[in-house]
Structure 1
Amino acid sequence: MEIIKGGVTAAKGFEAGYTAAGIKYKDRTDMALIYSKKPCKTAGTFTTNVVKAAPVQWDRKVVTGKAKSQAVIVNSGIANACTGAEGYGYCEETAKAAAKVLGVNADGVLIGSTGVIGMQMPMDRLKAGIAKLAEAKNSSLENGTLAAKAIMTTDTREKEIAVTFDIEGTTVTLGGMAKGSGMIHPNMCTMLSFLTTDAAISKKALQKALSEDIKDTYNMISVDGDTSTNDTVLLLANGAAKNEKIVEGTKSFRTFQKALRIVNEYLAKMMAGDGEGATALLEVTVRGAKSKKQAKVIAKSVVCSNLTKTAIAGHDANWGRILCAMGYSGENFDPEKVDLFFESAAGKLQIIEDGTALDYSEEKATEILSQPEVRAVADIKMGKASATAWGCDLTHGYIDINADYRS
């Protein structure tokens, strides 16, 4: 398993394009295309919010249907959420416009949108953008990176990664790009993640691998506690590597799962660390739990705690806030057995032992918590299970961004 340079164009047979269509932003690129030379098997996971954007409804139909996919059209700026039948009709128009210029099946065109809720899509600009994307697409790594930049909203940096791995003597590649900075909460988020692989794999195995992996990656991040209307993860496999077909329950399937975990965890952490207004990635690991579920619930409770997040913003080792968040998680544990550690590139420091504060150095704790990536480790001494969740600090910058998001 090797991490390589690139994103969605790293795998064989995939191309990407980007353009400035003026959907909402007037000073930057705002549309991206992912294209496969060969029809792809697809898998997808989507928001748990009852209010689902039109592209989510469209993509679910594509993923669960029989049509194969060759193209994903993504726009930033307008979410096409809470737009009724008109908004869903625009998805169909988008698919037909893409099919016409790309020569693909409209029933298999996938769509991603992110941005302001409630606005209708300016279809004249969107269709003009699709034509530009078709002309601009190529397989270069640079185009993959620029496509990742084009789907950003309040993100401060593009998010992409690619890995290679061996399947029965054949090199297979898996790459991906994502966007996400605000309206991020476990159970998927205002996040879009697009994954491409040249693996030959059954559709059933592809969906199983994705559905299982998001539980420990995208569903373990939180920025602000808001579960979005648009979050979508799509995984496309075109089989161009010509490996022996991957099916469930095999060594090759487990290898594919490991590669998928590397890609999804990296992208999930990138989103958590790039939270709106954030200055630090907060990683919380709970170990010594009696079950994986217990560890996950407690870890997520801590990363979702606003008081904990503001303490991290202030580089304050206010461990009481962490213990408090653990306590209201709904999971039972003995607070008088908890050990807590803070870690970062500046070192490691035990803060409490058996629920009681140690005589630690506040200066050292502040130094550790002043790094761009900080970690809290809580050992509850009940078993052998563990889980990790990711979040970020909460600063005034979050308010600045969201108080005038629509303007």
Structure 2
Amino acid sequence: MAVNLSAPQAGELHPVPGVRIGIAEAGIRKANRKDLTVVLIDEGASVAGVFTQNRFCAAPVQVCREHLEQSAGRGGIRAMVINTGNANAGTGQDGLVRTKRSCVALAQKLDIAPEQVLPFSTGVIMEPLPVDRIEAGLPAALADAKADNWLRAAEGIMTTDTVPKAFSRQVAIDGVTVSITGISKGAGMIRPNMATMLGFMATDAKVDAGVMKQLALELAEGSFNRVTVDGDTSTNDSFVVIASNKAAHAPITSLDSAAGKALKAAMTDVARLLAQAIVRDGEGATKFITVRVEGGQTGEECRKVAYAIAHSPLVKTAFFASDPNLGRILAAVGYAGIDDLDQTKIDLHLDDVHVAVNGGRNPAYREEDGQRVMKQSEITVRVGLGRGNAADTVWTCDFSHDYVSINADYRS
């Protein structure tokens, strides 16, 4: 059961002018489930993407990177095709052929170039993509295309997710109201490094194509690159940002402008909610945990410590059991990779409970106070390094019995 996360309502999600979405049941892995999604983008949009850093990346990731470059001189990206049930990863040259075939099939129906289509897949690794089922399902998906299909699209990209993930905001840019809506999926194999994770966000704001890549990178860095469920970076991670450029305001040519800052802040809010929703719906998760590391010399070393804590199976299982065996957190701080760390300066808080001071147990700390916090569904771990002024935050969840069961039975 997701931690304090409920399914969105369709009325909560704003349509984005210039973007339509269609969903179909193509039987890619199982019958009677939404598993094929097409996104149709009006001409003139700006599109950018951020993808997995896993060197064993899936065929659709490879093709997406190619098409984002190749489409620049062909009118830009005009469509996306997304399937669930099959990751098309670990499939070699055949996987690339099948991915490109799906792009050709959609391009022919839309009278655009195949390079103007971005493909995405999620699901089981090392199985051939049933591209014939995708081709057969495209007419139904296209017939279903409409602007207010965001919730059904969020359902259509799910794998082991228990809740569809979608959020929406509106913001004024130069007196013009623009909409921002995004969806994501992911519950396991989550440790984005740009996790299995897909994220798609669209706005009708007018954004110069030259700043789109920077916008996508900064959005990912402040959201999807700050979450982890199990430390595994997926082969298929993709995050795509679309600006349809339909809004009637001056083009945003810099993220440092007033308009750029306002748009980025609103889009970051949506991206962060999408990323945190993945953690809240982590496979078998019962607790949502914020790990805040302060007092580092650099943000990078703060992230090292935060991820060491967030990835530790011993820490995560202790949280599941509500067992304040908090020396496990200090041990993770110690092996995070900061060679000149002075353990006598380390502080540790669990919410309002001061657990450790100057590297040792706080004389005022009582185990029942630690257990009180650990029983909560949402917990903040705060570590002070005593080395500088940098800080950073990572979001994670606990490990339960269900995590093992879900992954043991995933292909059943």
The TM-score with structure 1 as length reference comes to 0.93
Q: Give the letter aligned to residue 54 of structure 2.
A: N
- CA drift at 1:10: 2.8
**Aligned residue for 1:162?**
168
Following superposition, the deviation at residue 398 of structure 1 comes to: 1.3
Q: Residue in 2 aligned with 1:46?
A: 51
Residue aligning to 1:352: 356
Per the alignment, residue 89 of structure 1 pairs with 97
Letter in 1 for 2:297: K
The letter for the 2-side match of 1:243 is H
What letter is aligned with 2:52?
T
> Which of 233, 242, 251 is matched with 1:236 structurally?
242
Identity %: 35
1:12 to partner: Cα distance = 1.8
Change in CA separation of 1:174 and 1:4 when aligned onto 2, cut-off 3 Å: farther
Among 194, 204, 207, the alignment partner of 2:210 is 204
Please tell me whether the aligned partners of residues 19 and 42 of structure 2 are also in contact (alpha carbons under 8 angstroms).
yes
Local SS of the residue matching 2:95: helix
- 1:36 matched to which residue of 2? 41
The aligned residue for residue 334 of structure 2 is 327
Contact between 1:7 and 1:144, CA under 8 Å: does it hold in 2? no
Structural mapping, 1:235-384, within 5 Å: 235-248=241-254, 249-331=256-338, 332-343=340-351, 348-358=352-362, 359-384=364-389
Conserved in 2, the CA contact under 8 Å of 1:8 and 1:14?
no
Residue 64 (structure 2) pairs with residue 59 (structure 1): yes
SS at match of 1:133: helix
Post-superposition shift, 1:354? 2.1
75, 87, 98: which is aligned to 1:79? Answer: 87
Q: How many angstroms does 1:221 deviate by?
A: 1.5
What per-residue deviation string (whole Å, max 9, x for no partner) do you get for residues 333-356 of structure 1? 32222222212xxxx322222222
2:287/2:379 contact within 8 Å kept = yes
Q: CA deviation at 1:5?
A: 7.2
Deviation at 1:38, TM superposition (A): 3.5
**Residues 37-56 of structure 1 deviation map (CA, whole Å, 9 limit, x = unaligned):** 34421111111111111110
Residue number among 145, 152, 167 corresponding to 1:146 in the alignment:
152
Deviates more, 1:353-362 or 1:86-95: 353-362
**Superimposed CA distance per residue, residues 381-407 of structure 1 (whole angstroms, 9 cap, x where no aligned partner):** 322221000111011211111113222
Residue 198 of structure 1, CA deviation: 0.7
Distance 1:112 1:237 in 2: 19
SS across alignment from 1:317: coil
Mapped contact 2:9–2:151 kept (Cα < 8 A): no
Partner of 2:3: none
Aligned to 1:388: 393
| 1:96, distance to aligned residue in structure 2 (A) | 2.1
**Residues 401, 78 of structure 1: alpha-carbon distance in 2 compared, 3 angstrom cutoff:** same
CA distance in 2, matches of 1:188, 1:312: 28
Q: Take 1:273 and 1:367, find their aligned partners in 2: how far apart are those partners?
A: 20
| Residue 103 of structure 1: how far off its partner (Å) | 4.2
State the distance in 1 between where 2:90 and 2:208 align: 34
Distance 1:7 1:128, change over 3 A: farther
Give the secondary structure class of the aligned counterpart of 1:69: coil
Larger mean CA deviation between 125-134 and 83-92 belongs to 83-92
Distance 1:200 1:186 in 2: 28
Q: TM-score, normalised by structure 2?
A: 0.92
Aligned equivalents of 1:145, 1:5: Cα separation in 2: 6
Corresponding residue for 1:135? 143
User: How many angstroms does 1:215 deviate by?
Assistant: 2.3
Between 350-359 and 276-285, report the one with greater CA deviation: 350-359
SS of residue in 1 equivalent to 2:268: helix
Whether the 8 Å CA contact 2:194–2:221 is kept in 1: the answer is: no
**Could you tell me how far 1:362 is from its partner in structure 2?**
3.0
Alpha carbons 2:14, 2:180 under 8 Å: kept: no
Please tell me the residue identity of whatever aligns with 1:378: V
Take 1:91 and 1:122, find their aligned partners in 2: how far apart are those partners? 10
* Residue pair 1:205, 1:253 contacting (<8 A) in 2 also: no
- Bigger mean CA deviation after superposition, 353-362 or 55-64: 353-362
Code of the residue aligned with 1:83 in structure 2: it is T
Supply the AA of the counterpart residue of 2:240: L
1:205-226 Cα offsets, whole Å, 9 max, x none, are 1111211332232122111121
Deviation readout 1:83-120 (Å, 9 max, x if unpaired): 22222122222112222334444321111100011111
**Residue 202 of structure 1: how far off its partner (Å):** 1.4
CA contact (8 A) 1:10 1:162 kept: no
The answer to whether residue 190 in structure 2 is matched with residue 181 in structure 1 is no
List gaps (5 residues or longer) in structure 1. none
Please list the CA deviations of residues 256-308 of structure 1 after superposition, one character each: whole Å capped at 9, or x if unmatched: 22122212211111112211111111110011222212211111111111111
8 A contact 1:69–1:105 mirrored in 2:
no
- Assess, with a 3 A threshold, how the Cα gap between structure 1 residues 39 and 73 changes in structure 2: closer, same or farther: farther
Where in structure 2 are there 5+ consecutive unaligned residues? 1-7
- Judged with a 3 Å threshold, the aligned counterparts in structure 2 of structure 1 residues 272 and 240 are, in CA distance, closer, same or farther, namely same
Task: Determine whether 1:107 maps to 2:107.
Answer: no
2:45 aligned counterpart, secondary structure: strand
Residue correspondences, number = 399
Match of 2:18 among 8, 13, 16: 13
Residues 52 and 192 in structure 2, CA contact (< 8 A), matched pair in contact too = no
CA offsets per residue over residues 128-179 of structure 1, 9 Å max, x none?
2211110111112xx2111101111111111111121222222222211000
- The answer (yes or no) to whether the contact 1:338–1:352 under 8 Å persists in 2 is yes
Q: 1:233 Cα deviation (Å)?
A: 0.7
Whether the aligned pair in 2 keeps the contact of 1:185 and 1:227 (CA below 8 Å) is yes
